[in-house]
């Protein structure tokens, strides 16, 4: 199990009873959350859950909502400008001018944050390296792959060296190489002590990257905490078994059994003893399992336990 990494640990963002209604759609319903400085905080939920709405509110892009967001002690409602300078927001939809070069896009976004002259030039060069596009700075964005555009989109939000980086589903629809490159950018930001808020409907990514998470579904917060806290809280000791000749009926005498992927999950208060008994039984029956292992719960399982739905199918 992953260790919880907390660099500063001080509260950096407090989300206070945030609700958002779009006409008849209640996109968010009284969300309350706190985010620690230096953490990588995952906002997880199926499509339509309200992730992007929350990210837009956090970044100050969406200003009409109920409740408040306190960033480093300041309300985003009362002091919008100061708070915005602390934040780099990478929207879910790529926002670039394709007829311009990568560098010109960076210059444009940098100037929006008040950078100019040598500082803007130096920061752009640094960011191009950071996103692995230093050799493509003079090329027009229209010639870039989807993954390269995503990386440039990230770069545009990093020019003013924000201490809080908000990334809305940055890995959707990109090639594995760009995905790894984005993970490296995130690891670098984490090393520097930045606070990262990362939304995704890919559970494995969030498990890999984030130390704390919030699960949201249909606009409501359904669970939050550090990854370890949640995995411990919902841990049901169990075994995973698969292979030819193994079925639910043969496993039922050993505990409650359910189908899981191409095998079965067998719940057991004492999984090691059950494992021993199963090995004896399989020897008698002359059955060789393909897999027979202690099962570690995943975020996907927690989400399913709480909502009764699979995240991917929603």
Site residues (CB under 5 A) for Mg ion? Answer: 51-52, 92
Q: Which is nearer to ligand ADP, 120 or 214 (CB)?
A: 214
Binding flag, residue 47, ligand ADP (CB under 6 A): yes
Tokens describing residue 156: 């545009």
Using the contact rule CB under 6 A, the part of the chain among 50-58, 172-180, 207-215, 230-238 near ligand ADP is 50-58
Q: Where are the alpha helices (DSSP H) in the chain?
A: 51-59, 80-86, 102-112, 117-130, 146-156, 176-191, 203-209, 227-233, 248-251, 271-285, 299-307
Tokens 């010109």 sit at which residue?
104
- Cα angle vertex 255, ends 251, 257, to 5°? 60
**What does 79 bind: Mg ion, ligand ADP, none (CB cut-off 5 to 8 Å by kind)?**
none
Q: How far is the CB of 43 from ligand ADP (least distance, A)?
A: 8
Q: Let me know if 188 is exposed, middle or buried by CB neighbors in 10 A (0-12, 13-18, 19+).
A: exposed
Q: Let me know if 54 is exposed, middle or buried by CB neighbors in 10 A (0-12, 13-18, 19+).
A: buried
**How many chain residues interact with ligand ADP (CB under 6 A)?**
11
Using CB under 6 A, which of 15, 37, 44, 45 touches ligand ADP? 45
Could you tell me how many residues make up the chain?
Answer: 314
Using CB under 6 A, which of 2, 8, 17, 25 touches ligand ADP? 25
Q: Which is nearer to ligand ADP, 27 or 106 (CB)?
A: 27
Q: How far is the CB of 199 from ligand ADP (least distance, A)?
A: 7
Binding flag, residue 51, ligand ADP (CB under 6 A): yes
| Interface positions with ligand ADP (CB under 6 A) | 22, 25, 27, 45, 47-53
């Amino acid at each position: 199990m992953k260790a919880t990494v907390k660099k500063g640990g001080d509260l950096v963002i407090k989300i206070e009873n945030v609700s958002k209604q779009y006409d008849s759609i209640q996109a968010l319903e009284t969300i309350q959350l706190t985010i620690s400085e230096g953490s990588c905080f995952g906002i997880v939920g199926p499509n339509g859950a309200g992730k992007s709405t929350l990210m837009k509110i956090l970044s100050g892009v969406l200003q009409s909502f109920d409740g408040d967001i306190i960033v480093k002690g300041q309300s985003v409602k009362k002091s919008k400008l100061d708070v915005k300078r602390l934040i780099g927001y990478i929207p879910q939809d790529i926002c670039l001018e394709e007829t311009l070069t990568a560098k010109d896009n960076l210059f444009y976004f940098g100037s929006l944050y008040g950078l100019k002259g040598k500082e803007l030039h130096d920061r752009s060069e640094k960011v191009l390296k950071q996103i692995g596009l230093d050799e493509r700075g003079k090329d027009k964005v229209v010639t870039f792959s989807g993954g390269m555009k995503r990386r440039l989109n990230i770069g545009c939000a990093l020019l003013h060296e924000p201490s809080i980086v908000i990334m809305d589903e940055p890995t959707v629809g990109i090639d594995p190489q760009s995905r790894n490159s984005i993970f490296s950018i995130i690891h670098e930001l984490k090393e520097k002590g930045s606070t990262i808020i990362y939304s995704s409907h890919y559970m494995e990514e969030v498990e890999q990257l984030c130390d704390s998470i919030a699960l949201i579904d249909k606009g409501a917060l359904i669970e939050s905490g550090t990854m370890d806290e949640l995995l411990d809280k919902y841990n049901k000791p169990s075994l995973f078994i698969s292979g030819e000749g193994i079925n639910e009926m043969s496993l039922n005498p050993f505990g409650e059994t359910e189908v899981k992927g191409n095998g079965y999950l067998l719940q057991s208060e004492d999984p090691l003893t059950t494992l021993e008994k199963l090995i004896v039984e399989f020897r008698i029956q002359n059955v060789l399992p393909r897999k027979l292992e202690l099962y570690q719960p995943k975020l996907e399982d927690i989400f399913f336990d709480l909502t009764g739905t699979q995240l991917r199918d929603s």
